[in-house]
Amino acid sequence: MSQTQFTPRVFSGIQPSGGLTLGNYLGAIKRFVDMQGPEFETIYCMVDLHAITVWQNPADLTRNTRELCAGFIAAGIDPEQSVLINQSQVPEHAQLGWVFNCVARMGWMKRMTQFKDKAGKNAENASLGLFGYPALMAADILVYHATHVPVGEDQKQHLELTRDIAAKFNHDYGVDFFPMTEPVIEGAATRVMSLRDGSKKMSKSDPSDMARINMTDDADAIAKKIRKAKTDPDALPSEAEGLENRPEARNLVNIYAALNDQTVDEVLRDVGGKQFGEFKPMLADLAVAKLSPISGEMARLMDDPAEIDRILSRGSQRAREITAPILKRTYEIVGMVAPVEV
């Protein structure tokens, strides 16, 4: 079968299920900004349908969706250049999601480690949506025929599933319709760890607020959290190999490198030999310098929620120009009777 050429197109999403963390910023949003440009069409999404796989207070969901949109824009996503949407306004995501529920196999879904982590011991009480979540995620991506998906390390398995779903659909229906999406998991901070425990991911759901930096934290909070971050007693090494078996040290150096657009080796060339007592204030200053303009701009944008709603509505109109024909063709391939003039 001849290989179809797909338009270079980037899609990624974030759940509006709470505040944004430094992990979301460095692992995802900052990378989204980097990928804007002439090389790709870029589509970025607030995945509100994914968020309700666990309980969301309705008023909080509305606010968090707008705040996430403000975060995207404040960090440098240009709503003219990129398409910014909330998932529920583009119904083709959920429609293709259903088709993919019928393509994905139970065995594949049961292997998803995020479901196991999130459902925990109480899997019987988890929503059906939480279990089916990765099939909807595959639909988010493939309903645009997206070719590249920038994400943090924790989404890798879901992107492998997306490729499996695309391949099975193409194989079962004898078509070359859905692309094999490339995960883009790059940079120094693909997995930002908790500030309290270098073996745990920095997460908005961590019970301790000291474990994470929130994008809305003020300068004092950021400095305090970095000052109190767990470390070891040794000085920083001069080369990356010296960070082996030092997860907390590695995490702080990774954060520094990602914030400053440097490699880990470049950072260590400058700070190797320093004690944490000296390095932590440098990191705090850098974090405040990079993050405060973003949080300031987020707050300013949140003063005008009607403008955010207009941006999302306009984004979904543009998105549907791409998604409607792809869903229509999917239904034709599957054999659904299409509407006719009556």
How far apart CA 312 and CA 24 sit, in angstroms, is 20
Closest CB to ligand TYM among residues 230, 274: 230
Looking at the Cβ atoms of 155 and 323, the one nearer to ligand TYM is 155
Q: Is 84 in the site for ligand TYM (CB under 6 A)?
A: no
Instruction: Kindly tell me which residue out of 9, 10, 12, 283 binds ligand TYM, with binding defined by CB under 6 A.
Output: 12
Q: Does 69 bind ligand TYM (CB under 6 A)?
A: no
Nearer to ligand TYM, 23 or 198 (CB): 23
CA distance 45 to 334: 27
In angstroms, give the least distance from the CB of 238 to ligand TYM: 25
Could you tell me where the DSSP H helices lie in the chain? 22-24, 30-35, 48-51, 58-75, 92-101, 106-110, 113-119, 128-142, 156-173, 219-227, 247-259, 264-271, 276-302, 305-334
| CB of residue 159 to ligand TYM, shortest distance in Å | 8
Would you say 31 or 280 has its CB closer to ligand TYM?
A: 31
Segment 130 to 169, residues that bind ligand TYM, using CB under 6 A: 137, 140-141, 149, 151-152, 154-155, 158
Count of chain residues binding ligand TYM (CB under 6 A):
26
Nearer to ligand TYM by C-beta: 15 or 303? 15
CA 29/CA 307 separation, integer angstroms: 21
The first and second tokens of residue 236, run together, are 């920083």
Q: Does 191 bind ligand TYM (CB under 6 A)?
A: yes
CA distances (Å), origin 252, targets 25, 27, 172, 191, 227: 15, 14, 47, 12, 11
Q: Is 204 a catalytic residue?
A: yes
Identified catalytic residue from 118, 168, 274, 328: 118
Structure token digits, residue 171: 């194989």
280 noted as active-site residue: no
Catalytic residue among 156, 168, 204, 274: 204
Clarify whether 228 is annotated catalytic: no
Distant-in-sequence contacts of 229-237, Cβ < 8 A, 24+ apart = 229/195, 229/196, 229/280, 230/195, 230/196, 230/197, 230/198, 231/276, 231/280, 235/272, 235/273, 235/274, 235/275, 236/268, 236/271, 236/272, 236/273, 236/274, 236/275, 236/276, 236/279, 237/268, 237/272
- Which span (22-30, 104-112, 232-240, 289-297) binds ligand TYM, by CB under 6 A? 22-30
- Please tell me which residue in 30, 121, 156, 201 is annotated as part of the active site: 201
Regarding 322 and contact with ligand TYM (CB under 6 A), the answer is no
Task: Describe the crossing of helices 92-101 and 305-334 by its angle, rounded to 10 degrees.
Answer: 40
Q: How far is the CB of 338 from ligand TYM (least distance, A)?
A: 27
Contact flag: residue 24 with ligand TYM (CB under 6 A): yes
Residues in touch with ligand TYM (CB under 6 A): 11-15, 23-24, 27-28, 47, 50, 137, 140-141, 149, 151-152, 154-155, 158, 189-192, 201-202
